[in-house]
């Protein structure tokens, strides 16, 4: 099978490529990535000489290039991760989110249709559903209406609708998955968990937005990769699958305190900072459909794999130190030193 992975140099995309080459050693993977600030080929060093893996630098927003690549490489399956993915950056500047997440997805869909792709799997987010009430037991499910509340989630919602529309209108064989907050190795240290770990390793304070009582549903990245694998093997065309983790409601402050405890520091390093505008209070995913239909459920428990993730960042200082330079410093100043 020839698989095109878009955004394969990012956090989840690179974990997916490593997972796929290990579990499907006969398949060929083409990784198409623009290498924005979030793309990092260091993530894929262990497979760069694998004859079944090829990296191609390019932009999903370039229709001629995308169409030629899919035709020339005789791509059969597309797994579409490429996106601008950070909510805070979408608040500072929505333009690249609209361009890549909406227009880029449209360009890929057109090329997929023209080249008679066997499957287009679109990776999306639970953020398209908006926010749940703190303290409620409600979870996002497939009857939850879309209600995106940030430029990032609005751009992902638009992309989801386009992907679904290509199934209904043109019979393009698509599947969609909407998942919760991933964590694990190779996550860019602008996201909560790696930002907290690397700030602690640098001896800095750790920023918590607002009252810290926001709730996310944490999913270990390898569980996510396994869910995508099952959807590709057994998922029904045109369907959406919700993928979530094993945490019962846990606040950001509790997550931060767990990391501080694992790393043996004092809670005095917590710094409550200005809240994110339009901050979604609570996310929780009902993943019973993917369990019932495809037999998937999360396996990696939060506490064990949070410790593993802390250990990974502690052992891979070079990886994140190279990332936390230049553009990162400018972004950090804009976001945290207002």
Q: What are the phi and psi torsion angles at 35 (to 5°)?
A: 55, 60
How far is residue 174's CA from residue 183's CA, in Å, rounded to a whole number?
26
Q: Which stretch binds ligand DAU (CB under 6 A): 201-209, 230-238, 306-314, 320-328?
A: 201-209
Q: Does residue 309 interact with ligand DAU by CB under 6 A?
A: no
Q: Which stretch binds ligand DAU (CB under 6 A): 46-54, 82-90, 95-103, 111-119?
A: 82-90
- Separation in Å, CA 256 to CA 68, 88, 189, 335: 46, 18, 14, 19
Selected binder of ligand NAD within 60, 87, 158, 206 (CB under 6 A): 60
Q: Does residue 127 interact with ligand DAU by CB under 6 A?
A: yes
The least CB distance from residue 338 to ligand NAD, in Å, is 23
The CA-based diameter of the chain, rounded to the nearest angstrom, is 57
Q: Does residue 177 interact with ligand DAU by CB under 6 A?
A: no
Q: Does residue 144 interact with ligand DAU by CB under 6 A?
A: no
How far is residue 66's CA from residue 107's CA, in Å, rounded to a whole number?
8
CB atoms within 10 A of CB 162: 17
User: Which of 192/294 has CB closer to ligand DAU?
Assistant: 192
Residues of this chain, 108-147, that bind ligand NAD according to CB under 6 A: 123, 125
Q: Does residue 36 interact with ligand DAU by CB under 6 A?
A: no
127 is catalytic: yes
Q: Does residue 287 interact with ligand DAU by CB under 6 A?
A: no
| Count of helix runs (H) and strand runs (E) in the chain | 13, 11
Q: Does residue 149 interact with ligand DAU by CB under 6 A?
A: no
Q: Does residue 107 interact with ligand NAD by CB under 6 A?
A: no
- The DSSP code sequence of 228-260 is HHHHHHHPPTT-EEEE--S--S-BHHHHHHHHH
How far is residue 83's CA from residue 115's CA, in Å, rounded to a whole number?
22
* Residue 167 · residue 173 · CB < 8 Å: yes
160 is catalytic: no
- The DSSP code sequence of 35-62 is --TT--GGGGGGGTT-TTEEEEE--TT-
The least CB distance from residue 249 to ligand NAD, in Å, is 17
172 binds, among ligand NAD, ligand DAU, none (CB under 5 to 8 A by kind): none
Q: In a 10 Å sphere around its CB, with 0-12 CB exposed, 13-18 middle and 19+ buried, how is residue 236 labelled?
A: exposed
Q: Does residue 36 interact with ligand NAD by CB under 6 A?
A: yes
The CB-nearest residue to ligand NAD is 10
Q: Does residue 87 interact with ligand DAU by CB under 6 A?
A: yes
208 binds, among ligand NAD, ligand DAU, none (CB under 5 to 8 A by kind): ligand DAU
Q: Which stretch binds ligand NAD (CB under 6 A): 77-85, 228-236, 261-269, 294-302?
A: 77-85
Q: Does residue 216 interact with ligand NAD by CB under 6 A?
A: no
How far is residue 20's CA from residue 50's CA, in Å, rounded to a whole number?
12
How far is residue 130's CA from residue 125's CA, in Å, rounded to a whole number?
10
327 is catalytic: no
How far is residue 150's CA from residue 238's CA, in Å, rounded to a whole number?
26
Residue numbers at the binding site for ligand NAD (CB under 6 A):
6-7, 9-13, 33-36, 38-39, 59-61, 81-85, 100, 104, 123, 125, 156, 179, 181-182, 188
Residue numbers at the binding site for ligand DAU (CB under 6 A):
85-87, 125-127, 180-181, 191-192, 195, 207-209, 214, 216, 252, 276, 283
């Amino acid at each position: 099978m020839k698989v095109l992975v878009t955004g394969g140099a990012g956090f989840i995309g690179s974990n997916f490529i490593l997972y796929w080459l290990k579990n499907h050693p006969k398949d060929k993977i083409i990784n198409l990535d623009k290498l924005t600030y979030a793309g990092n080929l260091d993530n894929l060093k262990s497979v760069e000489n694998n004859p079944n893996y090829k990296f191609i630098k390019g932009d999903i927003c370039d229709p001629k290039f995308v169409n030629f690549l899919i035709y020339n490489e005789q791509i059969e399956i597309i797994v579409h991760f490429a996106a601008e993915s950070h909510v805070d950056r979408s608040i500072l500047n929505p333009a690249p989110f609209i361009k890549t997440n909406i227009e880029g997805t449209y360009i890929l869909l057109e090329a997929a249709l023209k080249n008679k792709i066997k499957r287009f799997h679109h990776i999306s987010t639970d953020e398209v559903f908006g926010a749940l009430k703190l303290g409620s037991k409600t979870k996002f499910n497939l009857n939850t209406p879309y209600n995106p509340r940030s430029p990032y989630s609005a751009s992902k919602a638009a992309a989801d609708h386009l992907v679904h529309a290509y199934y209904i209108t043109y019979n393009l064989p698509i599947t969609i998955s909407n998942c919760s907050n991933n964590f694990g190795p190779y996550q860019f240290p602008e996201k909560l968990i790696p930002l907290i770990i690397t700030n602690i390793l640098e001896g800095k304070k750790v920023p918590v937005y607002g009252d810290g009582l926001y709730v996310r549903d944490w999913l270990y990245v390898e569980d996510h990769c396994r869910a995508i694998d099952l959807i590709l093997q057994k998922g029904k065309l045109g369907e959406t699958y919700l993928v979530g983790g094993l945490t019962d409601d846990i606040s950001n402050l509790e997550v931060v305190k767990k990391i501080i405890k694992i790393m043996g520091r004092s809670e005095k390093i917590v710094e409550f900072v200005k809240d994110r505008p339009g901050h979604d209070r609570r996310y929780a995913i009902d993943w019973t459909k993917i369990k019932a239909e495809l037999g998937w459920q999360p396996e990696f428990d939060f506490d064990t794999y949070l410790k593993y993730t802390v250990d990974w960042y502690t052992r891979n200082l070079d990886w994140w130190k190279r990332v936390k330079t230049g553009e990162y410093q400018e972004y950090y100043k804009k976001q945290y030193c207002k």
